[in-house]
């Protein structure tokens, strides 16, 4: 199925001069970049991007709480309170420097891009993924230092989120329709 997805090179990726490598790896999969710009997002965009979502709080809260247990660190916060704290750190981080935003299109663009990006925690991400290859951060380090996991890229996780995120970061007139020259072979 033809899909569109939103990719962000987050501030850590920009500061580490990995923009080109990220774009290059996306292009290598056969997908096409149909929109791209550098943005220094304000808090408003950041807060819409990292939506106030009960499902996300549930999943992230559980993972974060588990990590506290694994490290033997006591907390009197609930899973949801921890997840809300993570969201606040994410909002601050994503608006703390420039990001490169892209719309990427192609066959199964969402899952192909997520596969290329790799697992959320770089320490566990597969070696040939962007996160596995270019970073090594962990839940442990992030929670200990009270900052978000630094994992270079964001990629939309499903069609609904992709549509919402593309609309947030791009105007319709900033997205271009074209075909790659090698389209038949990828």
Q: Which residues bind ligand ATP (CB under 6 A)?
A: 60, 63-64, 86, 90, 120, 139, 142-143, 148-149, 151, 154-155, 157
Q: For residue 55, what are the contacts with CB-CB under 8 A and spacing of at least 6?
A: none
For ligand ATP, the closer CB: 93 or 170? 93
Which residues are registered as beta bridge partners of 74? Answer: none
The widest CA-to-CA distance across the chain, in whole angstroms, is 57
Q: How far is CA 154 from CA 12, 76, 80, 120, 149, in A?
A: 11, 30, 22, 9, 11
Element (H, E) at 38: strand 32-39
Q: How far is CA 57 from CA 69, 127, 150, in A?
A: 18, 28, 19
Q: Which does 18 bind (CB under 5 to 8 A by kind): ligand ATP, Mg ion, none?
A: none
CB of 111 to Mg ion, least distance (A): 13
Active-site residue flag, 154: yes
Q: Which does 60 bind (CB under 5 to 8 A by kind): Mg ion, ligand ATP, none?
A: ligand ATP
CB of 34 to ligand ATP, least distance (A): 19
DSSP 183: G
Q: Which does 155 bind (CB under 5 to 8 A by kind): Mg ion, ligand ATP, none?
A: ligand ATP
Q: Which does 125 bind (CB under 5 to 8 A by kind): Mg ion, ligand ATP, none?
A: none
Q: Of the listed 18, 83, 154, 156, which one is catalytic? A: 154
In the complex, which residues of this chain contact Mg ion (CB under 5 A)? 157
Active site members: 154
């Amino acid at each position: 199925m033809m899909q569109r997805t939103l990719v962000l090179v987050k501030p850590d990726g920009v500061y580490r001069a990995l923009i080109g490598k990220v774009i290059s790896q996306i292009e290598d999969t056969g997908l096409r970049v149909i929109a791209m710009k550098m943005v220094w997002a304000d808090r408003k965009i950041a807060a819409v991007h990292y939506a106030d979502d009960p499902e996300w709080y549930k999943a992230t809260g559980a993972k974060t709480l588990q990590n506290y247990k694994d490290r033997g660190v006591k907390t009197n916060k609930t899973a949801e309170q921890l997840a809300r704290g993570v969201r606040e750190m994410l909002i601050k981080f994503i608006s703390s420097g420039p990001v490169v935003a892209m719309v990427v299109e192609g066959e199964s663009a969402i899952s192909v891009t997520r596969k290329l990006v790799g697992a959320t925690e770089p320490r566990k991400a597969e070696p040939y993924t962007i996160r596995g290859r270019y970073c090594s951060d962990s839940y442990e380090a992030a929670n200990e230092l009270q900052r978000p996991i630094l994992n270079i890229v964001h990629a939309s996780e499903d069609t609904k989120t992709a549509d919402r995120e593309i609309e947030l970061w791009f105007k319709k007139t900033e997205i271009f329709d074209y075909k790659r020259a090698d389209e038949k072979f990828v």
